[in-house]
């Protein structure tokens, strides 16, 4: 269900040329990213289902995909975190 929300959020964001979505499903690659990025990409040591937004200024926000209850929540997170506050 979480992946369906991610796909819908990606489709709804397709107009934003500077925004990219990607899914990493290879466990070895996930472990490599956990080792390389640690707490900035994953909120705890056992989590493998993070959703990461890296803004153009380098600021990183992570979100546990298990906390998503709709595609609208994920879309809101992406829109809010990928732009600077006005």
Q: For residue 6, which of 17, 19, 18 has the smallest C-alpha distance? A: 19
- How confident is the model at residue 45, as a pLDDT? 58
Q: How far apart are CA 48 and CA 70, in angstroms?
A: 19
Exposure string for 35-74, b = 16+ CB within 10 A, e = fewer: eeeeeebbeeeeeeebbbbbeeeeeebbbebeebeebeeb
Q: Does 85 reside within a domain?
A: no
Q: Does 65 reside within a domain?
A: yes
pLDDT category at 7 given cuts 50, 70, 90 is: confident
Domain tally, the chain = 1
Q: Does 6 reside within a domain?
A: yes
Q: Which domain holds residue 54?
A: 2-80
Q: Does 55 reside within a domain?
A: yes
Q: Does 86 reside within a domain?
A: no
Mean pLDDT of 16-36: 83
Residues 6+ apart with CB under 8 A from 62: 40, 41, 42, 43, 50, 51, 52, 53
DSSP designation for 51:
E
pTM, entire model: 0.64
Q: Does 31 reside within a domain?
A: yes
Q: Does 63 reside within a domain?
A: yes
Q: Does 17 reside within a domain?
A: yes
């Amino acid at each position: 269900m979480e992946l369906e929300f991610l796909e819908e959020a990606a489709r709804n964001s397709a107009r934003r040329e500077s925004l990219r979505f990607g899914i990493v499903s290879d466990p070895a690659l996930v472990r490599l990213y956990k080792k390389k990025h640690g707490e900035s990409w994953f909120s705890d040591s056992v989590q493998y289902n993070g959703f990461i937004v890296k803004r153009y200024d380098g600021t990183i926000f992570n979100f546990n995909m298990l906390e998503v209850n709709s595609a609208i929540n994920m879309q809101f997170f992406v829109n809010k975190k990928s732009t600077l506050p006005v």
